Structures are given as structure tokens and as C-alpha cells.
């Protein structure tokens, strides 16, 4: 019996101790009519060897390709120690540190993670993770409504340059609480939020403005100006940021005069593989004054009965297991394993490593844009500084090209035609430090061939 250790003698002895004859008797409180005797739709058992063969065949069918998509999930080098350490049983098979004395490892990692996220974002406090970037943005909108002392509108301004999937998730998750999300258009020349779009909202009751940095197009918003405008108009600022970029660009804590109020994003770029979409790890940081409105677990440093330093879950009165219907969120289990991976990843990179990764992302993307736009029939959609993504405009539909590139072993980018039809045939591409000059050339040659043009060397 896979994973069940009972011998026939065990079962006899245990049933005897309970005082029943058969295991089936233990289900005698369940109405007979409800019980099923078989699960016809579930396939028969496989051995570990058989399932390994099957999984390997399915994985091989998908194969491996050279990736040029970002769009919210980024391929970075992951140091070998990261997953060797987090899959140690003491981390992998532990649960939420309810028994602090038996969970000091997890709790100290949470504290270190919180410290790193607070440092990166330039904020005072971080929680110990949320599910992913999209749900973290939704939680930030809910948190802003709770934290804002004067606003009655529960109205959030959301630039269209925020990741469309994140916007959808924010809407789906906040809808039940009557939150209104008003979208802000972008400047078609620069691909960043149009300051003119803000004017119509001046003087109205606003709860918060979301500022994506870099935005979904990879363009860098004028975060200082947006933050100043929001604060002058009584709105809180929620920064939705790429954490790698923060090694290089001003973090939310430095925006405008006093900094943003809440910062969220996805820490997937820190030690978490693309893994077909998850599990990733949402992060959230804020100013100290809002900490009691924050959702999720928070680890705090304290002392034990002998005065020794130790760590424990703190401010639990915010949480569902104490506060029930009045909790800041229903979140319970979060993304502990990935939070641990992110912490170890950042410890290994350090400030120099992370800055180099960010520099390399910026440089590689510039090379990619240059190589692809030199093919001809491709141009860059937006002017202005960007981080590690760019929107390219093509002369024909993107989807068939992406299929053809995939046959060539290249995942060429993300088709924007569904979410941004006004851009025409638009392709979002990304290059991180993992793409070499040879990779970029291979992409340019392949795309040039498909477009019937030679790539300029």
C-alpha cells in the first residue's frame, strides 16, 4: 500500500483496541446511501518507476525552448543552493509556524525575508508573503480602503499600463466589497500613464492610485510625478513593482516627497523558476503606520523566557484564525517555500550580484530591441527609458509568428493584440541576464527568416 505502513497484524491489533471488527465499521456514522464503493473515473495505481516514465515522456513532449517572454514572470539564473536548501525536509515538510519554539528556522527566514523586501522597496515593513503579484495587488487595494482615514469612495485609479491579468484579478477579488476601479489611459508616444488623464480626477474623493514600475510595457513611469499628484489629491499610492528593477531604479519608498504608501509585486524573479505559472510569491510592504491593516503573516523578533532572541508570528489579531469575519483578509496558507527560496536567492546575490543582474537585464533588452528592429518591418512602439521589456510593432499578426518561432525552438514574446488591440500587431519581448548575444542573434535570424528579411548582423 503506497505510503501506508500498516501490516495485517497492525490492523488486527488496532481494530481490537478500538473494539470493532473491520475498518469499514469506523464509517458507520455515515448514512449508508451516501457511501460509494468505487471511483470508476480514477485510473489504476502506478509504481514510482511507471509514473516517472510517464511524466518524463510528457515533459519531453513539451521540450525546452529559448524564452523571450516576461509579462509578469521572468527567467533568471537560480543559484544551485536555493532549491537544494528549500527542499530539505525541515523546510519543505514543515507548516505555518504556529509552534514558534519548534519553528525558529522558518520564523527567522521570514524575518530575514521581510527585512530584505523592506530594504528593496524602501518601505518600513513587509509581510511574510502573499500568493502572487496579482493577488497582492488586489490585497493592496483592499488594504488601501481600510487604511485611508478620510476617503469614503473606495475608488482606486488603475493605469491601463498595469499587467492586464493583475487588473483582472484585482477586479475579481475586490468586487464583492464595492470597490470601484477606474482605469487610466496611457500616452501613446511614451507608453506611460498620461498625466492629462489624471486631471479629470483632481479634487474628487480618491482612495488610491496604483503606480506600476516598470509598467507592463517595460516602460518606466514618472513615479515621482504620479506620487506627488496622488498625495496632493488625498490619495494613497500603491507601487506595483518588479523587485529586480529596484536594485537600479528608485524604489517606492523614494517616490515623490514621502514615498509610496504600499508596495506590492511578485518576488518570483528571486529564486523561483517559471514553472509553467506557479507557485510564485507575492510580496507586500508598507509604511509602518498601516501595518495593522496589512493582510497575511508577519514574523517579529522578541525574547524567550530566558531573555534569548527568538522569532514569533506577531500582530495575529489582524488574522482570520483570531479575528474571523473581521480579519484584514481570509489568507491563511501563503507561499512559505517560495519566500524561503527568495530569501536564500537574495542572500547569495547580495547587493552587487543583484545590481549586476539588473544592469544585465537592461543591457540585454536594449540589445534585443536593437537586433529585432534592425530586421526591418519591426519598430519599437514607445520612446523613453525602459527596464527589461519592450513593445515591438510588426506588420502582420503576431500569433502565427509565435507558433512558427516555437517550431524553431524559440518562445518569441507575448502577443498584446487581445489586451491592447489599439496597438495593432504588438509583441512584448523580454531579455534577462540569462540571454546571451548568441541567443539574441538566433532569435533575430529566425524572425528575419519568417518575415522574409535578413537580420542585419
Site for another protein in 244-283 (CB under 8 A): 246-251, 254, 266, 273-280
Task: Please give the DSSP secondary-structure letter assigned to residue 290.
Answer: G
* CB nearer to another protein: pick between 122 and 448: 122
Taking the C-alpha atoms of residue 164 and residue 216, their distance in angstroms, rounded to an integer, is 8
CB of 101 to another protein, least distance (A): 4
Binding test (CB under 8 A) with another protein, winner from 351, 383, 396, 437: 351
Coil, helix or strand for 352? Answer: helix
Task: Classify 57 as helix, strand or coil.
Answer: helix
In angstroms, the CA 433 to CA 176 distance is 41
Query: What gap in Å lies between CA 255 and CA 248, rounded to an integer?
Result: 14
Smallest gap, in angstroms, from Cβ of residue 201 to another protein?
25
Distance CA 187, CA 429 (A): 20
Q: How many CB atoms lie within 10 A of CB 176?
A: 7
Tell me if 450 contacts another protein by CB under 8 A.
no
Among 181, 197, 315, 380, binds another protein (CB under 8 A): 315
What is the rounded distance in angstroms from the CA atom of residue 149 to the CA atom of residue 212? 24
Both ends of the chain: CA-CA distance in Å? 61
Q: If binding means CB under 8 A, how many residues of this protein chain bind another protein?
A: 204
Restricting to residues 395-434, name those near another protein by CB under 8 A.
402-403, 406, 411, 414, 433
**According to CB under 8 A, which residues from 200 to 219 bind another protein?**
none
Instruction: Rule CB under 8 A: say whether 129 interacts with another protein.
Output: yes
> Of 199, 289, 304, 395, which one interacts with another protein (CB under 8 A)?
304
10 binds another protein (CB under 8 A): yes
Q: For residue 255, give Cα distances in angstroms to 99, 241, 252.
A: 39, 12, 5
Residue 438 touches another protein, criterion: CB under 8 A? no
Determine, following the binding rule CB under 8 A, whether residue 109 of this chain makes contact with another protein: yes
Residue 452 within binding range of another protein, rule CB under 8 A? no
Measured from the CB atom, is 204 or 434 closer to another protein? 434
Q: Which of residues 117 and 208 has its CB atom nearest to another protein in the complex?
A: 117
Is 99 a binding residue for another protein by CB under 8 A? The answer is yes
Short-list 101, 90, 115, 98, CA closest to 303: 101
Q: Is 404 helix (H, G, I), strand (E, B) or coil?
A: helix
DSSP state of 193: B
Site string for another protein, 282-301 (x = CB under 8 A): ------x--x-----xxxxx
DSSP 318-351: GSHHHHGGGSS----S--HHHHHHHHHHHHHHHH
Q: Which region, left, alpha or beta, applies to residue 3 given φ > 0 means left and ψ of -120 to 50 means alpha?
A: left
| Residue 203: CB minimum distance to another protein, A | 28
Q: How far is CA 214 from CA 149, 211, 251, 378, 437, in A?
A: 29, 9, 11, 23, 24
Binding-site member from 205, 228, 310, 441 for another protein (CB under 8 A): 310
**CB of 325 or CB of 421, closer to another protein:** 325
Least Å distance, CB 371 to another protein, is: 16
- The only residue of 150, 152, 325, 421 in contact with another protein, by rule CB under 8 A: 325
Residue list 30-69, contact with another protein (CB under 8 A): 30-31, 33-36, 38-48, 51-52, 54-65, 67, 69
Supply φ then ψ for residue 421, to 5 degrees: -60, -25
Whichever of 128 and 201 has its CB closer to another protein, that residue is 128
Stretch touching another protein by CB under 8 A, among 71-79, 151-159, 182-190, 191-199: 71-79
Compose the 224-243 pattern: x for residues touching another protein by CB under 8 A, - for all others: x-------------------
Q: Taking CB under 8 A as the criterion, which residues in 134-193 touch another protein?
A: 134-135, 142, 163, 165-166, 168-169, 171-173, 175-178
* In contact, 126 and 251? CB cutoff 8 Å: no
Whether residue 128 contacts residue 113, with contact meaning beta carbons closer than 8 Å, is answered with yes
Amino acid at each position: 500500500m503506497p505510503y501506508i505502513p500498516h501490516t495485517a497484524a497492525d490492523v488486527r491489533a488496532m481494530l481490537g483496541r478500538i473494539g470493532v471488527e473491520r475498518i469499514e465499521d469506523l464509517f458507520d456514522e455515515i448514512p449508508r446511501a451516501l457511501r460509494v464503493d468505487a471511483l470508476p473515473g480514477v485510473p489504476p495505481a502506478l509504481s514510482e518507476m511507471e509514473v516517472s516514465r510517464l511524466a518524463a515522456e510528457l515533459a519531453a513532449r513539451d521540450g525546452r525552448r529559448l524564452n523571450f517572454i516576461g509579462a509578469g514572470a521572468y527567467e533568471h539564473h537560480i543559484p544551485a543552493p536555493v532549491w537544494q536548501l528549500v527542499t530539505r525536509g525541515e523546510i519543505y515538510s514543515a507548516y505555518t509556524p504556529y509552534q514558534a519554539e519548534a519553528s525558529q528556522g522558518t520564523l527567522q527566514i521570514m524575518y530575514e525575508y521581510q527585512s530584505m523586501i523592506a530594504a528593496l522597496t524602501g518601505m518600513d515593513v513587509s509581510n511574510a508573503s502573499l500568493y502572487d503579484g496579482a493577488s497582492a495587488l488586489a490585497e493592496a487595494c483592499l488594504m488601501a480602503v481600510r487604511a485611508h482615514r478620510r476617503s469614503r469612495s473606495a475608488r482606486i485609479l488603475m493605469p491601463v499600463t498595469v499587467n492586464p491579468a493583475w487588473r483582472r484579478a484585482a477586479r475579481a477579488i475586490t468586487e464583492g466589497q464595492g470597490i470601484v476601479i477606474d482605469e487610466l489611459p496611457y500616452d501613446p508616444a511614451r507608453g506611460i500613464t498620461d498625466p492629462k488623464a489624471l486631471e479629470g480626477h483632481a479634487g474628487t474623493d480618491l482612495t488610491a492610485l496604483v503606480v506600476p514600475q516598470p509598467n507592463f510595457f517595460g516602460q518606466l513611469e514618472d513615479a515621482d510625478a504620479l506620487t506627488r499628484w496622488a498625495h496632493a489629491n488625498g490619495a494613497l499610492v500603491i507601487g506595483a513593482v518588479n523587485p529586480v528593477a529596484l536594485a537600479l531604479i528608485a524604489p517606492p519608498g523614494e517616490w515623490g516627497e514621502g514615498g509610496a504608501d504600499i508596495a506590492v509585486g511578485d518576488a518570483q524573479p528571486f529564486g523561483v523558476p517559471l514553472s509553467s505559472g506557479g507557485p510564485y510569491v507575492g510580496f507586500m510592504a508598507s509604511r509602518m503606520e498601516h501595518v495593522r491593516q496589512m493582510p497575511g503573516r508577519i514574523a517579529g523578533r522578541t525574547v524567550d523566557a530566558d531573555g534569548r532572541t527568538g522569532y514569533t508570528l506577531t500582530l495575529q489579531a489582524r488574522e482570520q484564525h483570531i479575528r474571523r469575519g473581521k480579519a484584514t483578509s481570509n489568507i491563511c496558507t501563503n507561499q512559505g517555500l517560495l519566500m524561503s527560496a527568495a530569501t536564500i536567492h537574495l542572500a547569495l546575490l547580495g547587493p552587487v550580484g543583484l545590481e549586476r543582474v539588473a544592469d544585465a537585464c537592461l543591457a540585454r533588452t536594449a540589445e534585443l530591441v536593437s537586433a529585432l528592429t534592425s530586421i526591418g518591418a519591426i519598430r519599437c512602439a514607445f520612446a523613453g527609458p525602459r527596464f527589461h521589456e519592450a513593445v515591438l510593432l510588426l506588420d502582420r499578426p503576431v500569433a502565427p509568428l509565435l507558433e512558427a518561432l516555437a517550431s524553431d525552438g524559440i518562445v518569441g514574446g507575448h502577443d498584446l493584440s487581445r489586451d491592447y488591440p489599439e496597438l495593432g500587431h504588438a509583441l512584448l519581448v523580454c531579455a534577462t541576464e540569462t540571454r546571451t548575444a548568441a541567443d539574441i542573434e538566433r532569435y533575430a535570424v529566425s524572425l528575419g527568416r519568417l518575415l522574409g528579411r535578413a537580420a542585419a548582423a
